[in-house]
Chains A and B, each alone.
Chain A
Amino acid sequence: EIVLTQSPGTLSLSPGERATLSCRASQSVSSSYLAWYQQKPGQAPRLLIYGASSRATGIPDRFSGSGSGTDFTLTISRLEPEDFAVYYCQQYGSSPRTFGPGTKVDIK
């Protein structure tokens, strides 16, 4: 099973600032099958990034993903008020599919 670790646990930033979230895998993620999701309270997760760096349909270009192998990054170039949420990474290249523990981005 591939274990995903996310850092930091919480990121306190102001609107307009840049957010950099990290996801590290315990072993190489097959074909960069790494996704990022955003989740707000009381809502289902929302797919942001897949294949480590491709934006899902309708996702603003302030969200970008990078990385390969075991190290991946989600960057939000300029935080908008609606971006304050919890972000999860997920690997879907092997079974069991696994999620990271999440990074909470809150308002400073």
Chain B
Amino acid sequence: QVQLQESGPGLVKPSGTLSLTCAVSGGSISSSNWWSWVRQPPGKGLEWIGEIYHSGSTNYNPSLKSRVTISVDKSKNQFSLKLSSVTAADTAVYYCAGTYYDILTGYEAGFDPWGQGTLVTVSS
């Protein structure tokens, strides 16, 4: 089954750029139409950051759109997140997730699988 693994620096300086990669194993990145990034500040709820289609099309959360870039590298079977001009408010656990599809209908059915998450702290 498909598994996801986030990687990247755990500490980013204010005003810098957060960069994370999600490696897809156990299947092809082209097997799921959409791949997402979700974040969760410590002790708080989940926030969808954006998504990328395996062809490269993207959708972003308007609240972050000006600072976010999501890209895909099919040759490496991975997708990436860049978040610029970070502040302490961007400190969070960042998850990557794939789209789950209903076996019978083929319709989108939420997010599954998820990576284990990686904590990124913004601090000088």
Contacts and interface: CB of A to CB of B under 8 A. Distances in A.
Interface of A: 1, 31, 33, 35, 37, 43-47, 50-51, 54, 56, 88, 90, 92, 95-102
Nearest to A31: B107
Nearest to A100: B45
A56 B116 contact: no
Q: Which of B100, B112, B115 has the most CB of A within 10 A?
A: B112
B112 A33 contact: no
Q: How large is the interface on B (under 10, 10 to 19, 20 to 34, 35 or more residues)?
A: 20 to 34
A99 B100 contact: no
A96 B45 contact: no
B111 A90 contact: yes
A88 B109 contact: no
A99 B46 contact: yes
B45 A92 contact: no
Given A44-B95, A45-B46, A99-B47, A92 B102 contact: no
Interface of B: 36, 45-48, 51, 59-63, 95, 100, 102, 107-112, 114-117
B64 to A, nearest CB: 9
Contacts of A54: 102, 109
Contact of B112 (A47, A51, A95): A47
A37 to B, nearest CB: 8
A1 B112 CA distance: 22
A92 B38 CA distance: 13
B111 A96 contact: no
B45 A50 contact: no
Contacts of B114: 44-46
A51 B100 contact: no
A96 B45 CA distance: 16
A55 B63 CA distance: 31
